[in-house]
Amino acid sequence: MARGWGSKSAVIRAEKVEVRSANVPDPVALDLIRKKEGILLSRTRVLTELKNAQNPRYRDLLNRTLADLDEKLSALSGN
């Protein structure tokens, strides 16, 4: 009887491993997601800085940075 329970337990564990591995995206997709999230986080920070900036030269720098981040984001979305 113990033998039957042991084999059922092994089958259940194997099924759990298959389910977990099926839900994990491939490394390339994970890398793309991380890059997009990093760019979005930087974009949020730049927008916050832009709201509070008063120096025109600094605002110009932030606007150029924002444009660059938007360009990178659109390039990643195009893939």
> pLDDT tens, 17-33?
665 666 778 898 999 99
| CA-CA-CA-CA torsion sign (64, 69, 72, 73) | negative
Best CA proximity match to 43, nearest among 64, 74, 70:
70
pLDDT recorded at residue 78:
80
Mean pLDDT along residues 40-61: 97
Examine the pLDDT at 76 and tell me if it is beyond 60. Answer: yes
Q: Provide the residue range defining the domain that includes 16.
A: 2-78
How high is the mean pLDDT of the chain?
85
- How far is the C-alpha of 23 from the C-alpha of 6, rounded, in Å? 26
- How far is the C-alpha of 26 from the C-alpha of 48, rounded, in Å? 33
Q: Where does the pLDDT of residue 49 fall: very low under 50, low under 70, confident under 90, or very high at 90 and above?
A: very high
| Count of domains forming the chain | 1
Examine the pLDDT at 34 and tell me if it is beyond 80. Answer: yes
- How far is the C-alpha of 70 from the C-alpha of 27, rounded, in Å? 24
Rounded to two decimals, the pTM is 0.66
